[in-house]
Protein backbone atom coordinates (compact mmCIF):
# COMPACT_ATOMS: atom_id res chain seq x y z
CA UNK A 1 0.00 0.00 0.00
CA UNK A 2 1.23 3.47 -0.85
CA UNK A 3 2.19 5.86 1.92
CA UNK A 4 1.19 8.78 -0.30
CA UNK A 5 -2.05 10.33 0.93
CA UNK A 6 -4.91 9.37 -1.32
CA UNK A 7 -5.83 12.81 -2.66
CA UNK A 8 -5.56 12.02 -6.39
CA UNK A 9 -7.10 9.25 -8.53
CA UNK A 10 -3.76 8.56 -10.19
CA UNK A 11 -3.30 6.92 -13.57
CA UNK A 12 -1.14 3.77 -13.52
CA UNK A 13 1.89 5.33 -15.18
CA UNK A 14 5.09 7.00 -13.96
CA UNK A 15 7.44 9.02 -16.13
CA UNK A 16 11.18 8.95 -16.27
CA UNK A 17 12.26 11.77 -18.59
CA UNK A 18 11.12 14.06 -21.36
CA UNK A 19 12.29 16.29 -24.17
CA UNK A 20 10.19 19.09 -25.65
CA UNK A 21 6.59 17.95 -26.13
CA UNK A 22 7.47 14.26 -25.56
CA UNK A 23 7.73 12.39 -22.29
CA UNK A 24 8.82 8.80 -21.65
CA UNK A 25 7.54 6.46 -18.95
CA UNK A 26 9.65 4.15 -16.81
CA UNK A 27 8.98 1.30 -19.23
CA UNK A 28 10.32 3.28 -22.18
CA UNK A 29 6.99 4.20 -23.84
CA UNK A 30 6.85 7.68 -25.32
CA UNK A 31 3.83 10.01 -25.05
CA UNK A 32 2.84 13.28 -26.69
CA UNK A 33 2.25 15.72 -23.86
CA UNK A 34 -0.83 17.86 -24.57
CA UNK A 35 -1.38 18.71 -20.90
CA UNK A 36 1.95 20.12 -19.62
CA UNK A 37 1.27 18.85 -16.10
CA UNK A 38 -1.88 21.04 -16.12
CA UNK A 39 -0.54 24.16 -17.82
CA UNK A 40 2.78 24.09 -15.98
CA UNK A 41 5.53 22.95 -18.37
CA UNK A 42 5.47 26.10 -20.51
CA UNK A 43 8.72 25.26 -22.31
CA UNK A 44 8.04 21.52 -22.54
CA UNK A 45 10.41 19.07 -20.90
CA UNK A 46 14.14 19.53 -20.31
CA UNK A 47 14.39 22.80 -22.23
CA UNK A 48 18.18 23.26 -22.60
CA UNK A 49 18.18 26.94 -21.62
CA UNK A 50 16.03 26.36 -18.56
CA UNK A 51 18.12 23.35 -17.51
CA UNK A 52 21.35 25.30 -17.72
CA UNK A 53 19.96 28.41 -15.98
CA UNK A 54 18.62 26.33 -13.08
CA UNK A 55 21.81 24.29 -12.85
CA UNK A 56 23.98 27.38 -12.78
CA UNK A 57 21.80 29.01 -10.15
CA UNK A 58 21.83 25.83 -8.03
CA UNK A 59 25.62 25.86 -8.23
CA UNK A 60 25.74 29.41 -6.85
CA UNK A 61 22.96 29.29 -4.22
CA UNK A 62 19.41 27.99 -3.97
CA UNK A 63 17.94 30.02 -1.18
CA UNK A 64 18.66 32.99 1.01
CA UNK A 65 15.53 34.51 2.59
CA UNK A 66 13.16 37.41 2.14
CA UNK A 67 15.00 38.87 5.13
CA UNK A 68 17.53 39.95 2.50
CA UNK A 69 17.35 41.50 -0.91
CA UNK A 70 17.17 38.91 -3.69
CA UNK A 71 18.50 40.22 -6.98
CA UNK A 72 16.87 37.51 -9.11
CA UNK A 73 13.48 38.24 -7.48
CA UNK A 74 13.86 41.98 -8.07
CA UNK A 75 14.69 41.38 -11.72
CA UNK A 76 11.66 39.10 -12.09
CA UNK A 77 9.36 41.64 -10.42
CA UNK A 78 10.64 44.33 -12.82
CA UNK A 79 10.01 42.06 -15.78
CA UNK A 80 6.51 41.02 -14.65
CA UNK A 81 5.58 44.64 -13.95
CA UNK A 82 6.69 45.64 -17.44
CA UNK A 83 4.75 42.82 -19.10
CA UNK A 84 1.57 43.20 -17.05
CA UNK A 85 1.25 46.94 -16.50
CA UNK A 86 1.24 46.31 -12.73
CA UNK A 87 3.39 48.06 -10.14
CA UNK A 88 4.50 45.51 -7.56
CA UNK A 89 4.72 41.78 -7.01
CA UNK A 90 4.46 39.43 -4.04
CA UNK A 91 5.97 35.99 -4.68
CA UNK A 92 4.38 32.79 -3.40
CA UNK A 93 4.90 29.09 -4.13
CA UNK A 94 1.57 28.18 -5.71
CA UNK A 95 -1.59 29.52 -7.26
CA UNK A 96 -3.65 29.11 -4.12
CA UNK A 97 -1.14 31.16 -2.16
CA UNK A 98 -1.06 33.83 -4.85
CA UNK A 99 -4.85 34.05 -4.54
CA UNK A 100 -4.64 34.11 -0.73
CA UNK A 101 -2.41 37.17 -1.09
CA UNK A 102 -4.95 38.71 -3.49
CA UNK A 103 -7.86 38.09 -1.12
CA UNK A 104 -5.90 39.47 1.83
CA UNK A 105 -5.00 42.55 -0.22
CA UNK A 106 -8.66 43.09 -1.13
CA UNK A 107 -9.73 42.80 2.52
CA UNK A 108 -6.93 45.11 3.62
CA UNK A 109 -8.04 47.61 1.00
CA UNK A 110 -11.59 47.39 2.35
CA UNK A 111 -10.57 47.90 5.95
CA UNK A 112 -8.54 50.96 4.95
CA UNK A 113 -11.76 52.36 3.46
CA UNK A 114 -13.61 51.64 6.70
CA UNK A 115 -15.45 48.52 5.45
CA UNK A 116 -15.37 46.11 8.39
CA UNK A 117 -16.70 42.98 6.70
CA UNK A 118 -15.27 43.20 3.17
CA UNK A 119 -16.95 41.03 0.54
CA UNK A 120 -15.40 39.63 -2.63
CA UNK A 121 -17.71 38.75 -5.52
CA UNK A 122 -16.74 35.37 -7.02
CA UNK A 123 -18.09 33.28 -9.89
CA UNK A 124 -20.00 30.06 -10.34
CA UNK A 125 -17.68 27.27 -11.60
CA UNK A 126 -14.64 29.27 -10.50
CA UNK A 127 -11.50 27.53 -9.30
CA UNK A 128 -9.08 29.44 -7.09
CA UNK A 129 -7.29 26.74 -5.08
CA UNK A 130 -7.54 24.35 -2.13
CA UNK A 131 -6.60 26.43 0.90
CA UNK A 132 -9.54 27.43 3.07
CA UNK A 133 -10.03 30.92 1.68
CA UNK A 134 -9.44 29.93 -1.95
CA UNK A 135 -11.65 26.86 -1.56
CA UNK A 136 -14.36 29.15 -0.23
CA UNK A 137 -13.90 31.36 -3.31
CA UNK A 138 -14.07 28.30 -5.57
CA UNK A 139 -17.47 27.60 -7.13
CA UNK A 140 -17.52 23.83 -6.77
CA UNK A 141 -19.66 22.40 -3.99
CA UNK A 142 -18.05 18.96 -4.33
CA UNK A 143 -14.62 20.38 -3.54
CA UNK A 144 -16.00 22.27 -0.54
CA UNK A 145 -18.08 19.47 0.97
CA UNK A 146 -16.77 18.28 4.32
CA UNK A 147 -14.59 21.30 4.93
CA UNK A 148 -17.17 23.64 6.41
CA UNK A 149 -17.15 26.11 8.01
CA UNK A 150 -15.93 27.89 4.90
CA UNK A 151 -14.33 31.30 5.05
CA UNK A 152 -16.96 34.03 4.93
CA UNK A 153 -16.81 37.20 2.88
CA UNK A 154 -17.63 35.81 -0.57
CA UNK A 155 -20.76 36.31 -2.67
CA UNK A 156 -21.24 34.15 -5.75
CA UNK A 157 -22.72 35.19 -9.10
CA UNK A 158 -23.10 33.50 -12.52
CA UNK A 159 -20.09 33.85 -14.84
CA UNK A 160 -20.14 36.40 -17.67
CA UNK A 161 -23.27 38.06 -16.26
CA UNK A 162 -22.93 41.76 -15.51
CA UNK A 163 -26.53 42.21 -14.39
CA UNK A 164 -25.96 39.69 -11.60
CA UNK A 165 -23.07 41.77 -10.28
CA UNK A 166 -25.07 44.98 -10.52
CA UNK A 167 -27.84 43.31 -8.52
CA UNK A 168 -25.38 42.46 -5.74
CA UNK A 169 -24.09 46.04 -5.73
CA UNK A 170 -27.58 47.37 -5.10
CA UNK A 171 -28.00 45.80 -1.68
CA UNK A 172 -24.48 44.87 -0.59
CA UNK A 173 -22.37 47.88 0.38
CA UNK A 174 -19.42 45.89 1.70
CA UNK A 175 -18.16 44.70 -1.71
CA UNK A 176 -14.45 45.47 -2.16
CA UNK A 177 -13.48 43.34 -5.16
CA UNK A 178 -14.57 41.07 -7.99
CA UNK A 179 -12.48 37.95 -8.66
CA UNK A 180 -12.51 36.49 -12.16
CA UNK A 181 -10.79 33.96 -14.37
CA UNK A 182 -10.78 35.45 -17.89
CA UNK A 183 -10.98 31.84 -19.06
CA UNK A 184 -12.22 29.35 -16.47
CA UNK A 185 -9.90 26.36 -16.63
CA UNK A 186 -11.04 23.76 -14.12
CA UNK A 187 -14.65 24.90 -14.60
CA UNK A 188 -14.63 23.65 -18.20
CA UNK A 189 -12.86 26.22 -20.46
CA UNK A 190 -15.45 28.99 -20.28
CA UNK A 191 -14.53 32.36 -21.80
CA UNK A 192 -15.73 35.69 -20.43
CA UNK A 193 -16.84 37.92 -23.28
CA UNK A 194 -14.76 40.99 -24.15
CA UNK A 195 -17.78 43.28 -23.61
CA UNK A 196 -18.36 41.78 -20.16
CA UNK A 197 -14.74 42.29 -19.17
CA UNK A 198 -14.75 45.95 -20.26
CA UNK A 199 -18.09 46.66 -18.61
CA UNK A 200 -16.92 44.93 -15.43
CA UNK A 201 -13.77 47.06 -15.35
CA UNK A 202 -15.96 50.15 -15.61
CA UNK A 203 -18.35 48.92 -12.92
CA UNK A 204 -15.42 48.26 -10.56
CA UNK A 205 -14.17 51.81 -11.17
CA UNK A 206 -17.59 53.31 -10.51
CA UNK A 207 -17.86 51.51 -7.17
CA UNK A 208 -14.21 51.72 -6.11
CA UNK A 209 -13.88 47.93 -6.23
CA UNK A 210 -10.70 46.06 -7.09
CA UNK A 211 -10.75 43.83 -10.15
CA UNK A 212 -8.81 40.64 -9.41
CA UNK A 213 -7.88 38.44 -12.37
CA UNK A 214 -6.87 34.90 -11.48
CA UNK A 215 -4.43 34.22 -14.30
CA UNK A 216 -2.97 31.12 -12.69
CA UNK A 217 -4.02 28.92 -15.62
CA UNK A 218 -4.66 31.34 -18.51
CA UNK A 219 -1.67 33.62 -17.85
CA UNK A 220 1.98 33.42 -18.89
CA UNK A 221 1.34 33.37 -22.61
CA UNK A 222 -1.04 30.43 -22.80
CA UNK A 223 -3.74 32.38 -24.67
CA UNK A 224 -1.30 34.07 -27.05
CA UNK A 225 -0.85 37.17 -24.92
CA UNK A 226 1.06 37.35 -21.67
CA UNK A 227 -2.16 37.69 -19.72
CA UNK A 228 -5.75 36.81 -20.57
CA UNK A 229 -7.04 40.27 -19.69
CA UNK A 230 -4.84 41.85 -22.37
CA UNK A 231 -7.15 40.57 -25.13
CA UNK A 232 -9.84 42.97 -23.89
CA UNK A 233 -7.32 45.75 -23.28
CA UNK A 234 -8.37 46.03 -19.64
CA UNK A 235 -6.10 46.46 -16.65
CA UNK A 236 -7.01 44.65 -13.41
CA UNK A 237 -5.91 45.97 -10.01
CA UNK A 238 -4.62 42.55 -8.98
CA UNK A 239 -3.53 39.57 -11.09
CA UNK A 240 -2.33 36.22 -9.82
CA UNK A 241 0.05 33.79 -11.50
CA UNK A 242 1.56 30.38 -10.82
CA UNK A 243 1.30 27.20 -12.96
CA UNK A 244 3.29 28.14 -16.10
CA UNK A 245 5.35 30.89 -14.48
CA UNK A 246 8.38 28.72 -13.67
CA UNK A 247 7.84 26.09 -16.39
CA UNK A 248 7.83 23.32 -13.75
CA UNK A 249 9.60 25.02 -10.87
CA UNK A 250 7.01 25.95 -8.20
CA UNK A 251 6.49 29.70 -8.09
CA UNK A 252 3.41 31.90 -7.79
CA UNK A 253 2.94 35.64 -7.86
CA UNK A 254 0.38 38.24 -6.84
CA UNK A 255 0.73 41.41 -8.93
CA UNK A 256 -0.82 44.65 -7.76
CA UNK A 257 -1.32 48.00 -9.46
CA UNK A 258 -3.47 51.10 -9.21
CA UNK A 259 -5.52 51.23 -6.01
CA UNK A 260 -4.11 47.86 -4.90
CA UNK A 261 -0.46 48.95 -5.01
CA UNK A 262 1.41 50.19 -1.98
CA UNK A 263 -1.04 48.71 0.55
CA UNK A 264 1.06 46.06 2.25
CA UNK A 265 3.96 46.98 4.48
CA UNK A 266 6.45 44.82 6.41
CA UNK A 267 4.59 42.29 8.54
CA UNK A 268 1.34 42.28 6.55
CA UNK A 269 2.19 39.20 4.51
CA UNK A 270 5.07 36.83 3.90
CA UNK A 271 6.49 33.54 2.64
CA UNK A 272 9.64 31.65 3.59
CA UNK A 273 10.35 30.26 0.14
CA UNK A 274 8.54 32.84 -2.00
CA UNK A 275 10.62 34.14 -4.91
CA UNK A 276 13.87 32.53 -3.84
CA UNK A 277 16.88 32.74 -6.18
CA UNK A 278 16.24 29.34 -7.78
CA UNK A 279 12.57 29.80 -8.65
CA UNK A 280 13.04 33.42 -9.70
CA UNK A 281 15.77 32.37 -12.11
CA UNK A 282 13.50 29.69 -13.54
CA UNK A 283 10.71 32.21 -14.13
CA UNK A 284 13.06 34.83 -15.62
CA UNK A 285 14.44 32.25 -18.02
CA UNK A 286 10.95 31.03 -18.94
CA UNK A 287 9.93 34.59 -19.84
CA UNK A 288 13.14 35.12 -21.76
CA UNK A 289 12.64 32.00 -23.87
CA UNK A 290 8.98 32.87 -24.54
CA UNK A 291 10.15 36.26 -25.86
CA UNK A 292 13.15 35.06 -27.85
CA UNK A 293 11.41 32.11 -29.45
CA UNK A 294 8.17 33.93 -30.27
CA UNK A 295 6.08 31.54 -28.18
CA UNK A 296 3.14 33.93 -27.72
CA UNK A 297 2.53 33.95 -31.46
CA UNK A 298 3.10 30.20 -31.50
CA UNK A 299 0.46 29.64 -28.81
CA UNK A 300 -2.08 31.70 -30.75
CA UNK A 301 -1.33 30.01 -34.08
CA UNK A 302 -1.03 26.41 -32.91
CA UNK A 303 -4.08 26.78 -30.67
CA UNK A 304 -6.17 28.04 -33.58
CA UNK A 305 -4.91 25.13 -35.68
CA UNK A 306 -5.87 22.55 -33.03
CA UNK A 307 -9.36 24.04 -32.76
CA UNK A 308 -9.76 24.17 -36.55
CA UNK A 309 -8.53 20.60 -37.11
CA UNK A 310 -10.68 19.36 -34.22
CA UNK A 311 -13.73 21.08 -35.67
CA UNK A 312 -13.01 19.49 -39.06
CA UNK A 313 -12.60 16.04 -37.56
CA UNK A 314 -15.57 16.28 -35.19
CA UNK A 315 -17.93 18.50 -37.19
CA UNK A 316 -21.40 16.97 -37.25
CA UNK A 317 -20.47 14.20 -34.82
CA UNK A 318 -23.41 13.62 -32.50
CA UNK A 319 -22.48 14.19 -28.88
CA UNK A 320 -19.92 16.95 -29.53
CA UNK A 321 -21.46 20.05 -27.94
CA UNK A 322 -18.76 22.67 -28.46
CA UNK A 323 -15.10 23.22 -29.30
CA UNK A 324 -13.74 26.35 -27.67
CA UNK A 325 -10.79 28.06 -26.10
CA UNK A 326 -8.12 30.62 -26.85
CA UNK A 327 -4.51 29.87 -27.75
CA UNK A 328 -3.32 26.68 -26.09
CA UNK A 329 -6.20 26.47 -23.64
CA UNK A 330 -8.73 24.30 -25.42
CA UNK A 331 -11.88 22.42 -24.44
CA UNK A 332 -14.05 20.00 -26.38
CA UNK A 333 -17.35 19.70 -24.58
CA UNK A 334 -19.28 16.45 -24.99
CA UNK A 335 -22.87 15.73 -24.05
CA UNK A 336 -21.92 13.15 -21.40
CA UNK A 337 -19.28 12.46 -18.74
CA UNK A 338 -16.12 11.33 -20.53
CA UNK A 339 -13.43 10.83 -17.88
CA UNK A 340 -12.61 7.42 -19.35
CA UNK A 341 -11.13 9.16 -22.41
CA UNK A 342 -8.10 10.11 -20.33
CA UNK A 343 -7.11 6.45 -19.87
CA UNK A 344 -7.86 5.64 -23.50
CA UNK A 345 -5.67 8.54 -24.64
CA UNK A 346 -2.91 7.38 -22.30
CA UNK A 347 -3.04 3.91 -23.81
CA UNK A 348 -2.76 5.59 -27.23
CA UNK A 349 0.34 7.55 -26.11
CA UNK A 350 -1.33 10.90 -25.43
CA UNK A 351 -1.51 13.00 -22.28
CA UNK A 352 -4.77 14.91 -22.11
CA UNK A 353 -7.32 15.64 -19.41
CA UNK A 354 -11.05 15.87 -18.80
CA UNK A 355 -12.42 18.64 -16.61
CA UNK A 356 -15.92 19.48 -15.37
CA UNK A 357 -16.86 15.84 -16.20
CA UNK A 358 -17.67 16.48 -19.86
CA UNK A 359 -14.91 18.67 -21.26
CA UNK A 360 -11.86 17.16 -22.95
CA UNK A 361 -9.07 19.62 -22.19
CA UNK A 362 -5.79 20.32 -23.98
CA UNK A 363 -3.13 22.50 -22.33
CA UNK A 364 -0.04 21.77 -24.43
CA UNK A 365 3.36 23.35 -23.80
CA UNK A 366 3.89 26.68 -25.59
CA UNK A 367 6.59 25.03 -27.73
CA UNK A 368 3.98 22.74 -29.38
CA UNK A 369 4.74 22.51 -33.12
CA UNK A 370 2.38 22.27 -36.07
CA UNK A 371 3.31 18.61 -36.39
CA UNK A 372 2.52 18.04 -32.70
CA UNK A 373 -0.86 19.70 -33.22
CA UNK A 374 -1.70 17.54 -36.24
CA UNK A 375 -0.59 14.41 -34.42
CA UNK A 376 -2.70 15.30 -31.36
CA UNK A 377 -5.88 15.82 -33.38
CA UNK A 378 -5.28 12.80 -35.63
CA UNK A 379 -4.88 10.57 -32.61
CA UNK A 380 -7.43 11.98 -30.18
CA UNK A 381 -10.45 12.63 -32.41
CA UNK A 382 -10.95 8.93 -33.35
CA UNK A 383 -10.96 8.13 -29.63
CA UNK A 384 -13.68 10.74 -29.06
CA UNK A 385 -15.72 9.42 -32.00
CA UNK A 386 -15.43 5.80 -30.83
CA UNK A 387 -16.37 6.82 -27.32
CA UNK A 388 -19.48 8.69 -28.51
CA UNK A 389 -20.48 5.86 -30.85
CA UNK A 390 -20.23 3.19 -28.13
C1 LIG B 1 -4.62 25.62 -10.61
C2 LIG B 1 -5.31 26.87 -10.30
C3 LIG B 1 -5.22 27.45 -9.02
C4 LIG B 1 -4.51 26.78 -7.86
O5 LIG B 1 -3.13 26.67 -8.09
P6 LIG B 1 -2.26 25.72 -7.13
O7 LIG B 1 -0.86 26.00 -7.57
O8 LIG B 1 -2.70 24.32 -7.38
O9 LIG B 1 -2.50 26.15 -5.74
C10 LIG B 1 -5.84 28.67 -8.82
N11 LIG B 1 -6.52 29.28 -9.81
C12 LIG B 1 -6.63 28.75 -11.04
C13 LIG B 1 -7.36 29.51 -12.10
C14 LIG B 1 -6.04 27.53 -11.32
O15 LIG B 1 -6.18 26.98 -12.54
1 has pLDDT over 80: no
Please give the pLDDT value at position 136: 98
Please give the pLDDT value at position 77: 99
User: What value does the mean pLDDT of the chain take?
Assistant: 98
Helix axes 277-292, 295-314, angle to 10 degrees: 70
Please give the pLDDT value at position 132: 98
- 119-123 and 154-157: which strand pairing? parallel
Average pLDDT of 318-329?
A: 98
All structural domains of the chain, each given as residue ranges with its CATH number in brackets, are 15-33+294-389 (3.90.1150.10), 49-292 (3.40.640.10)
Closest ligand 1 atom to Cα of 134: 10
Average pLDDT of 193-222?
A: 98
99 C-alpha to ligand 1 centroid (Å): 8
Closest ligand 1 atom to Cα of 252: 7
Closest ligand 1 atom to Cα of 217: 15
List the one residue out of 160, 186, 179 whose CA is nearest residue 260: 179
32 C-alpha to ligand 1 centroid (Å): 23
Q: pLDDT digits over 151-204, tens only?
A: 999 999 999 999 999 999 999 999 999 999 999 999 999 999 999 999 999 999
Please give the pLDDT value at position 351: 98
Q: pLDDT digits over 237-248, tens only?
A: 999 999 999 999
Please give the pLDDT value at position 9: 93
Q: pLDDT digits over 64-82, tens only?
A: 999 999 999 999 999 999 9
* Residues in the ligand 1 pocket, defined by CB under 6 Å: 94-96, 99, 127-129, 181, 185-186, 214, 216-217, 242-243
Buried b (16+ CB within 10 A) or exposed e, 364-380: bbbbbeeebbebbbebb
Answer for the pair 185, 217: CB distance below 8 angstroms, yes or no: yes
109 has pLDDT over 80: yes
Coil, helix or strand at residue 157: strand
For ligand 1, mutation pick of 8, 217, 228, 273 (most atoms within 8 Å of CB)? 217
CA 218 to CA 199: how far, in whole Å? 20
Closest ligand 1 atom to Cα of 129: 4
Residues 6+ apart with CB under 8 A from 52: none
Q: pLDDT digits over 358-377, tens only?
A: 999 999 999 999 999 999 99
List the one residue out of 236, 219, 237 whose CA is nearest residue 228: 219
pTM: 0.98
Residues 6+ apart with CB under 8 A from 218: 181, 182, 183, 185, 227, 228, 326, 329
For residue 339, what pLDDT band results from cuts at 50, 70 and 90?
A: very high
CA 30 to CA 4: how far, in whole Å? 26
Q: Ligand 1: which residue has its CA nearest to atom 10?
A: 128
39 C-alpha to ligand 1 centroid (Å): 10
Average pLDDT of 26-32?
A: 98
Q: pLDDT digits over 116-130, tens only?
A: 999 999 999 999 999
Amino acid sequence: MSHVMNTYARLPVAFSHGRGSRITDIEGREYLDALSGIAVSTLGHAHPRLVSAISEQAGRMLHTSNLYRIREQEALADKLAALSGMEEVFFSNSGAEANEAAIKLARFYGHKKGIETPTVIVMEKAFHGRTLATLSATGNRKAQAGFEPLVSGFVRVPYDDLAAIKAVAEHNHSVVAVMLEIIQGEGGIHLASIEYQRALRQLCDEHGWLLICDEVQCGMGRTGKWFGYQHAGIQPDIATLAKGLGSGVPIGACLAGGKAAGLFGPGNHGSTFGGNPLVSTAALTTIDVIEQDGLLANAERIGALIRQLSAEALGGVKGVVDIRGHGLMIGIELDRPCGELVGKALAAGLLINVTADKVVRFLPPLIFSEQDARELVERVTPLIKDFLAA
